[in-house]
Amino acid sequence: YYLHLLKTYKSAEVKNFMLNIRETVSVLIDKEDATGIQEKAVFGDLDDPSNKLRDVLFYHRAIRAYWSGYTERCYYYSEKYMSISWQEVRFMKVQMEFYHGLNSIEKLRVRNKKHVKKNTEVLRNSISVMRNAAIHSDWNYANKLCLLVAEQQSLSCDHLNAIKLYDASIKSARKSGFIHEQGLACEKAGFYYKRYGAVHKALDYFKQARECYEEWGSSMKVGFIKKEIDSLNVSGS
């Protein structure tokens, strides 16, 4: 509908922006089975520093990579986005800090000494940005801050604080109506319990995550969580 309107009113820049959003939605819903754009034709030369559509593409590539579980790809495009100096959309930059921070935690779990310092800095900066954002808009960012700190605490094996913060993130996301981030917090809590061998607790959180992702409409994430639930049901039987 919106692309039809943009074609009617001939706004090429906004049309390309909307095409990129549609691509991201398609990846999250059906692993890009429904659509696919020729990015070079839409966004031009991505090596051209004067091309101001690059930040939109890098942002969405990072988001797609994160939700698809491609840690290195997410890191690469997050860094590419952060390196662009003209990030005019403040909201996008704060959102990218959130995903960059979460992604850095996955890299820290690998315990590759070569990248520990860099990823620790990324995480600390992400928490700092989210804490400041939450001061200005608790509704939008409190759940994100709680999830980042919960994941940080999980790395240091601070069980009580980690669980308290996972639950706080879930509650805050539910209150704000961010069903995908509610699902994400449930998913992270599920993996936390799974690492500690608490199968029943992990199942409980994974089932909550599945319900959230079903409501969100992401068959990709529903399928991913279903595999985790199935594997725990087998191991716990």
| Per-residue pLDDT, 43 | 57
Ranges of residues in the chain whose predicted pLDDT is under 70: 1-18, 20, 31-52, 85-89, 236-237
CA separation, residue 33 to residues 30, 62, 179, 220 (Å)? 6, 19, 23, 11
* Gap between the Cα atoms of 64 and 86, Å rounded: 22
* Gap between the Cα atoms of 74 and 68, Å rounded: 9
Look up residue 177 and give its two tokens. Answer: 């109506």
Query: Amino acid identity, residue 151?
Result: E
| Per-residue pLDDT, 168 | 98
* Gap between the Cα atoms of 168 and 22, Å rounded: 31
